[in-house]
Amino acid sequence: MSIRRSDLLLLIVAVVWGSSYLAAQTLVLAGGVLAVLALRFLVSAIALAPAMAVRRPSPAELRTGTLLGLTQAAVLVLETYGVSLTSATNAGVLISLTILLTPALEGAVRRQWLPPRFFAAATVAVAGVVLLVAGPGLRAPTAGDALMLAAAVVRTVHVTLSGRLTDSRRYDTVTLTWLQTAVGAALFTLLAAPGLPAAVRAFGPGHWLGVLYLALGCSVFAFLVQLWAIRRTSAARASLLLGTEPVWAVLIGVGLGGEHLTAVAVAGIALVLGGTYYGQRVEADHRAPVPVPSADRTPADGFSPSAPLP
């Protein structure tokens, strides 16, 4: 039951992230990348601050939360600048590589590889993303592509670290999430300091609603769910489900923006959803413990009730 709940919440995160593109683009045009990221993380940290009144991070939580905050901040900087310097097609294809990179890195770290069927399903999902965003077609590599590829690699590291560093540890998810937002708030505020006052003055009510959506929906809610779910499933499974983000971005654009779906886009959506559905089933079967016949079970102390007494 917990697996189904975590899957649903991760899909909701993918929907939220997919719906954030328009708001993020509008805000960046008005205030700049660093200013928007600074305000997003400042609001996120403030929103979680009341919960920290009854929590005190342990030294281990402080180290883990700080490291995850740095990797999360790096992902957002690379991704935001990368998108602005390349085509939507190149960006979508490159960032979707996390669907393949994450299970590969997690398998190498844990020395426990997922079955080839999972990677086949992930490849189908990536192919679906290619069709989904293949409007203008792939363009020659640019500096933006290098940034997007770096973003995919760092996101892979971030998701894998989130699972590895918190596995079997009694860390508080809210505390780790607040530490991530606090690190991002401090870092981006420092970097954006020269232009931050001008950005604040330039924002109207609509812009501040966008900031609140990015902070509360795309940061507080999304970061909490992502970390909570990874601790209960796996980084590979989380990456696969979050990889449906382009599907929801397109569908929201159709529903709210009056865009039209092409036959190629419909095929892409089918491949992404089909690959994701099959891949998460393969991952769940792989993680499920193999039942041991009762006659073969031996307690940890080596004594078996059916064994003859000495």
pLDDT digits (tens), the chain, 310 positions: 445 788 899 989 988 988 887 778 788 888 888 999 999 999 999 999 999 988 999 999 999 999 999 999 999 999 888 877 776 667 777 888 888 888 888 888 888 888 889 889 888 988 888 787 765 555 566 788 889 889 989 999 999 999 899 988 889 999 999 999 999 999 999 999 998 999 999 999 999 999 999 999 999 999 999 999 988 888 888 888 888 887 887 777 676 656 677 788 788 888 888 888 888 888 877 766 544 444 444 444 343 333 443 3
299 belongs to a structural domain: no
Map tokens 């939360």 to a residue. 65
304 belongs to a structural domain: no
226 belongs to a structural domain: yes
Distance CA 188, CA 186 (A): 6
* C-beta of residue 100 within 8 angstroms of C-beta of residue 126: yes
What is the token pair recorded at 158?
Answer: 């971030």
Residue 73, CB half-sphere, CA atoms under 13 Å: how many? 27
298 belongs to a structural domain: no
Distances (CA, A) of 295 to 231, 255, 291, 298, 302: 33, 58, 12, 8, 14
* C-beta of residue 43 within 8 angstroms of C-beta of residue 34: no
302 belongs to a structural domain: no
Domain that holds residue 42: 2-287
Local structure of 140: helix, strand or coil: coil
DSSP, res 271 = H
pTM of the model: 0.80
Distances (CA, A) of 230 to 123, 213, 216, 262: 21, 23, 20, 34
Q: How many domains does the chain have?
A: 1
63 belongs to a structural domain: yes
